[in-house]
Homo-oligomer: A and B are copies of this chain.
Amino acid sequence: MNKITILIHCNDLSGIVASVTNFIAEKQGNIIYLDQHVDREQDIFFMRLESEFIENNFSTEDFKDSFKTSLADKFEMKWRIYSSENKPKMALFVSKYDHCLYDLLGRYNSGELNLKIPFIISNHNNLKPIADNFNIPFYHIPVTKDTKAEAEEQQLKLLKSHKIDFIVLARYMQIISGKLINKYPNKIINIHHSFLPAFVGAKPYHSAYKRGVKIIGATSHYVTEELDAGPIIEQDVAHVSHTYTIESLIAKGRDLEKIVLANAIKLHSNRKVMVFNNKTVVFS
């Protein structure tokens, strides 16, 4: 059984859904998921479709070629087609905080995540024992002001040689350069420990404490060159009160960060997220 996922966006024209579903029918595919969205302001059509093909000699590459010439060119679509056989490869960037790392590796080991983790990169050595426990290669690449460019070269080399599909900054605490971002556009996922756009930048829990908010949040977003301003994938919040100190806000926030980041990773790796105009369409 072959299963593919198709993601499309293009200008909204009538007849697109009929054309795509006819095409699948012709190829003897069985649609098992179809959702679409129209951004009425921009007149952009978005679609996500999953289809199964029973045929023995089904080829994803042939399907892609045919899709391109029969449909995509005609409607001037931006499109991506994924075979369910290929699990995406995720590189984990961490620093000194371990809670997201424990959470993600626990989920990974339990088989909850539909992806591969070829390696972990960190600018510090502190979390190496955890990587070792979970048998994931760990590369310690220190980053200082002076060595930042060089360090990114090392990172890029590792990312290329392992054919990494996307990067997750699990509280990595370093600013990523435009050079690296442009090589992985909408493929670098960050977890920010506030309810964006409130409390952009460093020490959001301190700012939340000072402002006396009654709810704290966490936000997972794609990294763009503007700090904490990329397309938001997932957010969640928790109620707090005057009894919380900065320390207890941080402790409460850790659980938010873990779950929001894990959910964003699941959505991305299951090809449920599309980006347009610095916003996401997140299919169910």
Contact = CB atoms under 8 A, between A and B. Distances in A.
A25 B22 CA distance: 12
Contacts of A28: 14
A165 interface: no
Nearest to A97: B110
B195 A211 contact: no
Given A18-B18, A241-B284, 13 more contacts: A17-B21, A34-B36, A37-B243, A98-B110, A99-B107, A99-B110, A102-B102, A112-B254, A195-B215, A198-B198, A214-B234, A214-B235, A241-B282
Nearest to A210: B279
Contacts of A242: 37, 39, 279-282
A226 to B, nearest CB: 12
Measured as residues with beta carbon below 8 angstroms from the partner, the interface class of chain A is 35 or more
A237 interface: yes
A234 B88 CA distance: 36
Nearest to A133: B133
Interface in A178-227: 195-199, 211-215, 217
Interface of A: 14-15, 17-18, 21-22, 24-25, 28-40, 98-99, 102-103, 106-107, 109-110, 112, 133-134, 195-199, 211-215, 217, 231-237, 239, 241-243, 245, 251, 254-255, 259, 262, 278-282, 284
A34 B17 contact: yes
Interface centre among A35, A103, A211, A214 (most CB of B within 10 A): A214
B35 A24 contact: no
A6 to B, nearest CB: 13
B36 A25 contact: no
Contact of A212 (B31, B133, B280): B280
Given A106-B99, A195-B195, A281-B242, A112 B251 contact: yes
A224 to B, nearest CB: 12
Contacts of A109: 98, 102
A236 B259 contact: no
B102 A98 contact: no
A255 to B, nearest CB: 6
11 contacts: A14-B30, A14-B31, A17-B34, A18-B25, A37-B243, A40-B245, A98-B109, A98-B110, A102-B102, A102-B109, A103-B103
A110 B34 CA distance: 35
Nearest to A277: B212
Contacts of A98: 106, 109-110
